[in-house]
Homo-oligomer: A and B are copies of this chain.
Amino acid sequence: MARLSDIIEDFIKSLIKQSEGELEFQRNELAEYFECAPSQINYVLATRFSLDRGYHIESRRGGGGFVRVIQLDIDEDDYLLYLVNQRIGTTISQQASKDIVTNIMERGIINEREAAIIEAGLMDKVIGIPTNLRGVIRANILKAMLVAVLKTQG
């Protein structure tokens, strides 16, 4: 059984593509369309359209309220530098690192195979050891690999 969240994700993405990177809709309307709880829309936005995945969400409550999803536009090298110097920091979760890798793949900074290689090295069960240290090691590895990407970039 396909996940509703995935279906909603695809739906939103196709609309974004059609509308040049920005989309506005009403949460309740979308929930009604998919016959789900309105909060499920928030779940999809939080898990599939996060900053690490390259999106930004704005919204307004009250009458005439809306949700706006904006696909962020980035400069490749700058973004990699931002990741290495700011975003990743001293520790990072498996999920966040995966989101980041998926994001730079979708933007064409790395290809599918490179993404698979990088992701493989960042998995919890691969790094092993206690949880708190894991994030620290993962952050180091991810940063080092992204620097390697930068270095071998055009």
A interface residues (Cβ-Cβ under 8 A, vs B):
1-3, 5-6, 63-64, 112-114, 116-121, 123, 126-129, 133, 136-137, 140-141, 144-145, 147-149, 151-152
Q: Is the interface of A mostly helix, strand, loop or mixed?
A: helix
Contact at B120–A148, with CB atoms within 8 Å?
yes
- The CA-CA distance from A151 to B148 in the complex, in Å, is 22
- The CA-CA distance from A128 to B117 in the complex, in Å, is 20
Contact at B114–A114, with CB atoms within 8 Å?
yes
- A126-B141, A127-B141, A140-B128 known; A64 and B116 CB under 8 Å? no
- The CA-CA distance from A145 to B141 in the complex, in Å, is 12
7 tightest A-B contacts by CB? A3-B64, A120-B148, A120-B144, A113-B152, A116-B148, A126-B144, A121-B141
A51 vs chain B, min Cβ distance (A):
13
> What chain B residues lie within 8 Å of A119 (beta carbons)?
148
A112, A113, A129, A136 pick with most chain B CB within 10 angstroms: A113
Which residue in B1, B114, B136 is a CB contact (below 8 Å) of A113?
B114
- The CA-CA distance from A102 to B36 in the complex, in Å, is 37
A152 vs chain B, min Cβ distance (A):
4
Contact at A133–B123, with CB atoms within 8 Å?
no
Contact at B127–A140, with CB atoms within 8 Å?
yes
> What chain B residues lie within 8 Å of A145 (beta carbons)?
117, 120-121
